[in-house]
Copies of this chain bind each other. A is one copy, B any other.
Amino acid sequence: MKCRVCRGPAVIDIRRHNANFCQEHFLRLCRDQVTKTIAEFDMIKPDDRVLVAVSGGKDSLAVWDLLLDLGYHADGLYLGLGIGDYSDTSGDYARAYATDRGVRLIEVDLPTEHGFDIPTGARAVKRAPCSACGLSKRHLFDKAAHDGGYDVVVTGHNLDDEAAVLFGNTLRWQTDYLGRQLPVLPARHGFPKKVKPLVRLGEREMAAYCVLKGIDYIVEECPMAVGNKHIGYKEALNALEAESPGTKHTFYFGFLARAAERFHEEVEAERDALLSCQRCGAPTSNEVCQFCRLSERAAGAQPVKLGAKRSASPA
């Protein structure tokens, strides 16, 4: 197995590129793919102040590392979601990376600052945990970016993530979600600009990137995500990708090139209907935003002990 670039011994094969790479040229490939993605979708300007949403997992630490290596001014944001040991451990990885690299990590702790954790909040509003978690993260990312005066929020969604989300949205033809599933969402109506520079790179490449760069990350999946539908979508796409390498890339980039704009109408209508949350001022389609409603309902709820049987079924 030889590197496509230098013919030296390869450390990784990427089947959808039909090529193998040595360490040096694999890391260069990752940087080049991110550079290409940032340019193609006009994601980040050289002087932008960038806030990277860091979970302690491979994708968010890799994208932070890549942006720093490419010379961007990128701080990290870690959200403590109160998901037992998982949150403690993932926070440790995020802090260790920031310390090693000498960069700034902002921390927001949901239980300390908002009085509830994800397991308790999800049960209080009878939502699947991943749904309560997703809306909380979006709210807190937006707020931190706004409060800190950042130009752009970066998330570590990779090709596998985006293809699986697209698959779920397509299976249900959720036309509003389809219209919004883009690698760049521009700043608008109080929302910060949000970008996904890893959409050309897969999950396996991001794990390899971290290993080769010596970045320690939390390997476990979130315990609340076990059995959620997203994992089933990934498995279905993985089986097809194994048969036909490139399936996920074709699916996601084909959508962007030939279908996404057909679903813009719903998104425009939604945007035009945005109000300001009466509690916190965040943009929302209702009088009170979903996060404030979650927060209010969770405030009086009995705390959920992780490990105990959950009554809310996973999404």
Q: How many copies of this protein are present in the complex? A: 2
Docked pose: A257 CA to B173 CA in angstroms:
9
What count of chain A residues pass the 8 Å CB interface test? 25
**CB of A244 closer than 8 Å to a CB of B:** yes
Pick from B240, B254, B257, B259: contact of A236, CB below 8 A.
B240
Q: A171, B240: Cβ atoms under 8 Å?
A: yes
Contacts of A254 in B (CB 8 A): 171-173
Report A248 CB to chain B, min CB distance, Å: 9
**CB of A204 closer than 8 Å to a CB of B:** no
Report A65 CB to chain B, min CB distance, Å: 32
Docked pose: A175 CA to B259 CA in angstroms:
8
**CB of A270 closer than 8 Å to a CB of B:** no
**CB of A250 closer than 8 Å to a CB of B:** yes
Interface code A199-217, partner B: CB below 8 Å = 1, 0 otherwise? 0000000000000000000
Within 8 A of B (CB), among A260-278: 262-263
**CB of A191 closer than 8 Å to a CB of B:** no
Which of A173, A232, A237, A251 has the most chain B CB within a 10 Å cutoff? A173
Pick from B173, B237, B250: contact of A259, CB below 8 A.
B173
Q: A239, B232: Cβ atoms under 8 Å?
A: yes
Contacts of A236 in B (CB 8 A): 236-237, 239-240
Q: A173-B259, A262-B262 are in contact. List 12 more A-B contacts (CB 8 A).
A: A171-B251, A172-B250, A172-B251, A172-B254, A173-B255, A229-B243, A229-B244, A232-B239, A232-B244, A235-B239, A236-B236, A236-B237
